[in-house]
Structure 1
């Protein structure tokens, strides 16, 4: 019996190590992080924003997204941003100057950008409470901001 227990303990140890290794590798995958975030926020309206530290309009969109998140989170709005900087330190410097009060997924290799077929920066996507894409936009300015707010309000009302 002692050999059987030793074998079982060894198998459990190997299984644990494999699970931790696979889980940490899986957790660092932006595609997986995004899918998990969408599952976590099912039943909510999700505004997804792609950004990078070099994006000038992003500096204006961040305060607006912070405001939208604060103003509408009780109604079910979630802002989720995806950073495309190749070096994470660049995004950290950006965030020191322009803080984010919403979740950020780091996509240094652009896997999510490819999935969404990004055409410019910033790019935003609005998903309804069922997870269906209802609008997509490139760019950010005052005129577009009004349109985005209207779309968010309409999505939250449904």
Structure 2
């Protein structure tokens, strides 16, 4: 279902694992920061709401979405980090740059997750327009950051 028909901030929360002792890092792309900051805050607020200690949630910046894979790897390899949430936004625009960036980031984050055997969550918006991004960063379609945090929590429950 597309997010145009779903609120990203509404999800099932039954049987969530205890995350009170888990450590998270939220890696945030600085590019499109009017979008990525609300996404990151949504992720942090959701983690805390569902039991994470604020002191166990680290927020780190990378220049853009392309750098999320490396930034995620730096933290995923740390034994004391339980999950990584990568936050970014690549807007379609007039060129095909988004196709290359989004594909590289998705593959890179998957690779990091599998390499370090821990959740590395794709919290990257891939909208066609700036307005669509705003709508998914706390606007009419909720906040993709909320969804990314819940995904991290649920994935920790698999172990």
Taking CA–CA contacts closer than 8 Å with sequence separation of 6 or more, which of the two structures ends up with the larger relative contact order?
Answer: 2
Q: Is TM > 0.5 for Structure 1 vs Structure 2?
A: no
